[in-house]
Amino acid sequence: MLTTQSQRMIWRSCFFLLFIVAPPLDLFRFDLTQNHLLFLGYPWTLGIAELQGGEISAMQLAWNMLLRFFLPLGLIVGGGIYVSWKWGRLYCGWLCPHFSVVEIINSLMLRASGKPSIWEKNKLPEQQKDGRNIEPNKRWWVVTAITVLCFSFLWAVVLLTYLLPPKEIYGNLFTLSLTRNQTLFISVATTLLVVEFTFARHLFCRFGCAIGVFQSLVWMGNKKAMAVSFDRKNAKKCGDCDNSCEHTCPMRLKPRGTKRHMFTCTQCMQCIESCEKVQRANDHGAGQVSFSLLKMLEGNCALDTSARDFGNKPEVPEECYGIDTKGKRCCSK
């Protein structure tokens, strides 16, 4: 059975591949040379030019606007609101091609410096409670720099293919015959992305990405939405932990905090798996079943995280954390 992180890897990889091949396959892009969208290989126009040429009536234009603009927009926005309302930044953690790069660079910087970001004040423990062993080696900085440059260049080229014919862009790139404007776009975009991926990738994800902020704002409005929740009644089991759940969080958050402090959580669940490994190690090989003190909960069970603030301390059923009425551990999500 695939682990949660294996499933995430599959989803993220497939979506990243889709992000790259969508323009060449004309699955979705806006062609500036034709001044209209292309969707699934077909022109996606409203028919304004046809109306001006007398080819269609005003009623046909109105139907085109309804079916090709307002309806798709409503479905996309409505679907995004529904998913965000129930599950938060699910898109960020499971699909977003930018966040995939963020996680890769985090892991490489961790290998190079012992810190997932150059802005971290202290290095992470080399031997962590969740079993990870970090041995920083400065030679990994070379791999990190090359990776950042390659992903930045790839992103710049792919973004350009969403605006100009991909066949022309890739052909000119292969023959080293890019036009002045194409060269300028790729050069500037690559430079900006190198700076962003190196120094400000977390800042961008938190506050610079409109899609991410939108998801967070909608999610915060639903106190019963799915969220990482901490089993406070068993907090003493964290006594000898080294904050492994915080160390593994790609957004550099503190998973045991309230929902307000987890505003930019991407629902990647890495903190949960890290906590589970720590608790398994705490069993000292006694063959007991280990349970993470962090869980993804929703409904009334999520109130302990979303409503616990400013003096409020809501009570949630013990069953929420996998404890039955007799005080024994039971199956958990």
Q: 22 and 108 in one domain?
A: yes
Q: 294 and 177 in one domain?
A: no
Domain extent for 97:
4-44+88-208
Tokens of 277: 């490994």
Q: 203 and 111 in one domain?
A: yes
Q: Which of 173, 208, 243 is the last residue of a domain?
A: 208
Q: How far from the centroid of its chain's Cα atoms is residue 108's Cα?
A: 18
Q: Which of 139, 174, 208 is the last residue of a domain?
A: 208
Question: What pLDDT does residue 328 have?
Answer: 39
Beta-bridge partners for 133: 127
Q: 164 and 124 in one domain?
A: yes
Asked if residue 222 belongs to a domain, the reply is no
Question: What pLDDT does residue 290 have?
Answer: 54
Tokens of 60: 């046909």
Which residue type sits at 66? Answer: L
Give the whole-angstrom CA distance, residue 27 versus residue 110: 37
Asked if residue 151 belongs to a domain, the reply is yes
pTM of the model: 0.87
Asked if residue 109 belongs to a domain, the reply is yes
Give the whole-angstrom CA distance, residue 39 versus residue 22: 9
Give the whole-angstrom CA distance, residue 104 versus residue 116: 10
| Residues 6 or more apart whose Cβ sits within 8 Å of residue 13 | 100
Q: 163 and 255 in one domain?
A: no
User: What share of residues in the chain are helix, strand, coil (percent, to 5)?
Assistant: 55, 5, 35
Q: 192 and 94 in one domain?
A: yes
Whether the Cβ atoms of residue 329 and residue 266 lie closer than 8 Å to each other: no
CA angle 146, 170, 154 (to 5 degrees): 25
Question: What pLDDT does residue 311 have?
Answer: 67
Asked if residue 258 belongs to a domain, the reply is yes
| N- to C-terminal Cα separation, the chain | 15
Q: Where are the alpha helices (DSSP H) in the chain?
A: 4-21, 48-52, 58-65, 71-87, 90-94, 97-113, 140-161, 166-174, 180-199, 201-203, 210-220, 244-248, 270-282, 303-306
Asked if residue 35 belongs to a domain, the reply is yes
Cα torsion angle, 193, 197, 198, 203, sign:
positive
Asked if residue 8 belongs to a domain, the reply is yes
Give the whole-angstrom CA distance, residue 129 versus residue 245: 10
Q: 159 and 34 in one domain?
A: yes
Q: 99 and 175 in one domain?
A: yes
Strand 28-31 versus strand 36-39 pairing type = antiparallel
Q: 234 and 119 in one domain?
A: no
Q: 180 and 143 in one domain?
A: yes
Asked if residue 25 belongs to a domain, the reply is yes
Q: How far from the centroid of its chain's Cα atoms is residue 179's Cα?
A: 34
Low-confidence ranges of the chain (pLDDT < 70): 283-290, 310-311, 323-333
Question: What pLDDT does residue 54 have?
Answer: 82
- How many residues are recorded in the chain? 333
Q: 30 and 105 in one domain?
A: yes
Give the count of domains, the chain. Answer: 2
The string of pLDDT tens digits covering residues 284-327 is 544 444 578 899 999 988 988 888 776 677 777 777 877 433 33
Whether the Cβ atoms of residue 298 and residue 267 lie closer than 8 Å to each other: no
Q: Which of 208, 241, 269 is the last residue of a domain?
A: 208
Asked if residue 79 belongs to a domain, the reply is no
**176 DSSP 8-state letter:** T
Q: 239 and 203 in one domain?
A: no
SS3 296: strand
